[in-house]
Chains A and B, each alone.
Chain A
Amino acid sequence: MNQMNDGLQERLSRLEAGEPLEVVLHGLPEAEANLVKLAESLRKMPYPVPTDSAMAAQRKQLLHTAQERKIMTTQPKAGLTSRPWVWAAGLIGSLFVCALAVAGFTGAMGLGLFRGGSLEAPNANSGILLGAQGLVEIKAPEGEWTLAHNGQTIVAGQHLRTSVLSGVTLAFYDGSQMHLGPQTEISVDTLDARRTFGPRTILLTQWLGQTQNDVSHSNNSASRYEVTTPSGTGAAKGTSFAVWVFTTFVRFDVDDGTVAVTNLDVTVIVLEGQSTIIKIGQPPSDPVFSLSGEGEVQAIGTTWKIGGRSFLTNADTLISGDPQVGDWVSFEGRVLSNGTYFLDQITLVRHSIDNKFSFVGTVEAIGGDSWTISGRAVRVDELTGIQTGIEVGDSVIVEGGLANDGTFWASNISLAGEDASGLAFSFTGLVESMGDAAWSVSGISVTVGAETQIADGIEIGDIVNVTGQIAESGEWQAQSITPAEESSSEFQFSGKVEDTNPWKVAGISFETTEQTAIEEGIQVGDLVKVEGLILADGTWQATEITRIDEPLRFEFVGDVESLDPWVVAGVDLTVDDKTQIEEGIAVGDTVKVEGRILEDGTWLAEEITLAEEGLGCTNVPVVVESVEDGQITLADGQVISLDQVGEVEGDLKVASVIIIQTCVQADGSIVIVSIIVIYQLDELPTALPTSEGATGQKVTICHLPSGDEDKAHTLVVDESAVPAHLAHGDTLGACP
């Protein structure tokens, strides 16, 4: 019977290969020949086909869905990063504040700043550049640096570098990708990114900066994807990891899978969620779990207090943006072997919202050091940016701070015309090209002319402030271009909304995040003001979008001085039965006031709300020691009742490595927002990993008996006892 089966298949194969039926049937017994003929008849029979309309609708739906998913994949929701513990927090959206915000790089990855197109590397021996933003240059061996562009290929031996406010993705034939952040240089040493028929070999050297590496899975065990740095090499297979090259050390962060990191013949295996650091001339440190988060700065020093928690820092901690007490920062660091939290990076996200105000009003008087705008005296000085051409009677947008004596100090005064024409803009960006009639600055084309004031010495690659007006034609006409401070990468402009998904205003597309404050009800065609930040890779990210169709609106934050009548920050406010006033506001509270200025100069408050916000959130990785009766016990001794947790993601088991996100509310209470399982260890660690200089150390803490701050006193305890103390609310360092 087997022979008959094989014989039939052999004849059918010949038919499929194109032999004529008569030839195939030759010599076959009649019964077998009939089966072959029947098979051929079945093949050639005219079967029903799907209707054209159904087919077209299906295809359209399929491609539409594919496109949507592609957008979701390449432009993840703001706040996402490739690192699950940060993703869980959803906090990183506004991570980039200053041009040198190194910590923001990971955020940029998740914000889809390095989106690729449909371009593919042409072959295994070439990579292709995608999503280039800002200034990206390429150099052949012994050659000169030249501008690189999207779609350009790169081969072994070539170098690639990015400037500030710049980034690019290097995509390989096998699907692996290296995303370069700002101020990064790499070289391609060996490139054979084959998909099949042998091992893939991608060997890269990272000389400077930060990269995120997404390595495609390979079935060939001999495949290699390695990033060598001046202080060690990371080798990965089918994983995702970031490499940071600093002056004095190199850091490897693993997002997914495992990476073997080697230096001085010492190799450590870094697991998902872990980091290792290599200092110059030293082997890699023992991998430790990373931590990250955002929060309000409450204390600065060797021990920082952020969002209600204490963190150690040292001279190696990279602090960007000069954050001060009251400011909002993001941070990344590690959990040391003794359970204490150490920060590698602290980055300013935004300054304190206290004392910030903005309003739209009519200019009533213009003086040398004081203007009167809608009945208010507004101080101006040499630091105040004043749009040229403002006259008495004009409607203007005033932004600035509230001085201690309650007077307004304006940092910026600009025209607030109702038409889309003549709207002011200002932003800080990277000069990408300098033409006679137009410049490109961080992707924005601005026209320049005889009237444009351009500071001397500006070159391609410089960071500049650009101010000007958007003409009726949509042209961005520059009035001044001046060198910018490194830390200023903010923008603001006004214009008509052209689209809200994705956002496009006055011809400019920009990103929004969960943190972007968007006034409700904004529609296409509305006139809005957009404020935001230019991220480290050059992407424009809005922090606030507000409607400016009402010319006499105001909004500010200040302390309540009186409730009847209402006085906030020295401003007399009128309230009526439509004014929404948050319950419980008392004299001395800091409130946010929104409203409009009536024709008679009265400031009518529409909404008064407490301006307090939570103190911040922290994401801490920890190992689960036991799970029972709806409770988990952690390696640091904490016991958490799961019904008090906002969200649990993943399968909680003994030896699960989890990320706990805790947020401190304005009243000081702590909420566990989420627990996410990021990794499952085979078994519980028998002991905490050791770390040099850690064992036997004494640590100074501020002990709060029963959490009562009034009874706080300073204690010096063995480091082994620190986690338990921290777990019940004690803080590191002496009591204030």
Chain B
Amino acid sequence: MGTGLVPLGGPMQAFGAWLNGTWLHDFATHYPWVWPTMETIHFLALGLLVGTIGVLDLRLLGAAKRLPLAPLQQLVPWGVAAFVVNLVTGVVFLAGAPYQYIYNFAFQMKVLFMLAAGVNILVFYGGGVARRTFAVAAGDAVPMAGRIAGAVSLFVWIGVMYWGRMLTFFRPPWVVPPH
């Protein structure tokens, strides 16, 4: 009867009930091709996110040092686009089976890890770390604050993948799988 960190009966249950009545819920559950298609897109964008933001993180940590930081910034919009794709496909899953996710400890952790990634990005860009980091030339090491941001980013995104994969194993037993 696990519900993870979210108690039954609160506003989240009402939110789930509302989602169950949306057209997106019907779209996600009515056609057998929707779920696998969304999953495939979710995994492809996962690769793009790791390939762009992950490569930046690795450079911050000292890998492939001959990569200059300034042009590496141009990969970031691709990472943001990949994240948006996964947010959209993720919302389709959520609308399709709200309670499978709302009362799922792994999903709750996945959301917390994504929030942590957001905080890391805010500190990196808002705290002036990005400005100093992207001024680093090819061959030079990144300032410590930038290296920490890279390590945190790599850790939380791998964590997001971990909790995403754990979802089905933390599914509340009273939830009927949507597919």
A binds B: no
